[in-house]
């Protein structure tokens, strides 16, 4: 066998080994769930990302919801990644997502079929994370998005994700509350975004600092729902921290500070 033929065979074997590792390593879900997540189209995206060197390993489920699964991944250098896969077979949240897409100037020409909406939803979260990170809001930094697969920074260590505020209350809630007010203001003024679904369920606590996540529904400040969503975010944050004994700032006062004008 020639040297080139041996190299081609070696590359093919490495690809098969990677795929086997991806499909069997650490998965605890049953076969039906795996088939729901890893349809042929999604598998091809994952394979292409692995062949491109974006991902080297894909391990078990970190979190699971109705619209997506998040897996723990690694680069060849050992850097940890969060691999979020939106379920292309799920139409349950189709109606729910439309109100966040309609009115968003960044996504004007979106087809109404479920697959197109889900691909847009993934793109939307990637864009939102990019804008938030540029505004110096602590979020998982996005790496790449392709179809229904979004890869971003893993918040946590050794495959164990950082706890949400719901799971672990901060040791210094007043400090974290003040940080959240700063982040919401930066997100609005510098990132041109409103989170839209902010609560203790989608704020992580990592190394003593809050980290916003789950930003697919976030909307630009020009969106028709922006004002009401911002007030809801502020009310949710105030409610949580007031339960921890923090003297919170009234919602309308914080709202005026965030948007930077009298209302």
Which of 149 and 38 is assigned the larger pLDDT?
149
Residue 17 C-beta-side C-alpha neighbours within 13 Å? 7
What are the start and end residues of each CATH 1.10.510.10 domain in the chain? 162-259
What residues form DSSP beta bridges with 152? 82, 142
Beta strands in the chain (DSSP E): 57-64, 68-74, 80-86, 142-146, 149-153, 156-157, 160-161, 193-194, 203-206, 209-212, 219-220
pLDDT bin (cut points 50, 70, 90) of residue 230 is very high
The radius of gyration of the chain from alpha carbons, rounded to an integer in Å, stands at 20
Active site residue 56: no
Of the residues 197, 233, 253, 262, only one is catalytic, namely 197
**What is the DSSP secondary structure assignment for residue 202, as one 8-state letter?**
G
Residue 116 makes CB contacts below 8 A (sequence gap 6+) with 110
What three-state secondary structure class fits 211?
Answer: strand
In this predicted structure, the answer to whether residue 214 has a pLDDT above a threshold of 60 is yes
Residues of the chain with CATH 3.30.200.20: 3-160
| Mean pLDDT score across all residues of the chain | 86
The architecture in CATH of the region 162-259 reads Orthogonal Bundle (1.10)
Whole-model pTM: value is 0.84
- Is the pLDDT at 18 greater than 50? The verdict is no
Beta bridge partners of 142: 152
The pLDDT assigned to 191 comes to: 97
Return the CATH number of 3-160, one of 3.40.50.300, 3.40.718.10, 1.10.357.10, 3.30.200.20: 3.30.200.20
- Chain centre distance of CA 50: 20
- The yes-or-no verdict on residue 116 having pLDDT over 90 is no
Q: How far is CA 17 from CA 3, 47, 181, 244, in A?
A: 21, 12, 47, 49
In angstroms, the CA 74 to CA 81 distance is 5
> For 214, left (φ over 0), alpha (ψ -120 to 50), or beta?
left
pLDDT of 154-182, one tens digit each? 999 999 999 999 999 999 999 999 999 99
Would the pLDDT of 10 be above 50?
Answer: yes
Q: What Å distances lie between residue 167 and 41, 116, 172, 202, 234, CA to CA?
A: 34, 34, 15, 10, 20
Q: Is the confidence at residue 45, as pLDDT, over 70?
A: yes
- Is residue 197 annotated as a catalytic residue, yes or no? yes
Q: What percent of the chain has pLDDT over 70?
A: 82
Rounded-to-5 percentages of helix, strand, coil across the chain: 45, 20, 35
Tell me which of 26, 30, 171, 214 is the catalytic residue.
214
Neighbouring C-beta atoms of residue 35, cutoff 10 Å: 11
The strand ranges marked E within 136-234 are 142-146, 149-153, 156-157, 160-161, 193-194, 203-206, 209-212, 219-220
pLDDT at 187 over 90: yes
């Amino acid at each position: 066998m020639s040297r080139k033929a041996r190299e081609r065979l070696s590359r093919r074997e490495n690809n098969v080994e990677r795929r086997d590792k991806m499909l069997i390593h650490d998965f605890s879900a049953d076969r039906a769930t795996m088939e729901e997540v890893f349809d042929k189209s999604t598998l091809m995206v994952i394979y292409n990302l692995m062949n491109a060197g974006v991902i080297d390993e894909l391990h078990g489920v970190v979190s699971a919801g109705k619209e997506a699964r998040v897996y723990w991944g690694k680069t060849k250098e050992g850097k940890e990644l969060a691999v979020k896969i939106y379920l292309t077979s799920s139409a349950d949240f189709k109606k729910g997502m439309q109100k966040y897409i309609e009115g968003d100037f960044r996504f004007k020409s979106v087809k109404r079929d479920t697959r197109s909406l889900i691909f847009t939803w993934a793109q939307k979260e990637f864009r939102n994370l990019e804008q938030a990170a540029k505004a110096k809001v602590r979020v998982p930094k996005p790496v790449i998005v392709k179809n229904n697969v979004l890869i971003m920074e893993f918040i946590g260590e050794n495959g164990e994700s950082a706890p949400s505020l719901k799971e672990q209350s901060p040791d210094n809630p007043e400090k974290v509350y003040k940080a959240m007010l700063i982040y919401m203001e930066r997100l609005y003024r510098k990132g041109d975004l409103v989170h839209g679904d902010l609560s203790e369920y989608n704020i992580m606590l990592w190394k003593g600092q809050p980290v916003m996540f789950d930003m697919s529904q976030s909307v630009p400040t020009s969106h028709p729902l922006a004002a009401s969503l911002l007030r809801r975010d502020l009310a949710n944050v105030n409610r949580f921290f007031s339960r921890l004994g923090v003297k919170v700032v009234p919602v309308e006062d914080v709202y005026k500070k965030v948007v930077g004008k009298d209302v």
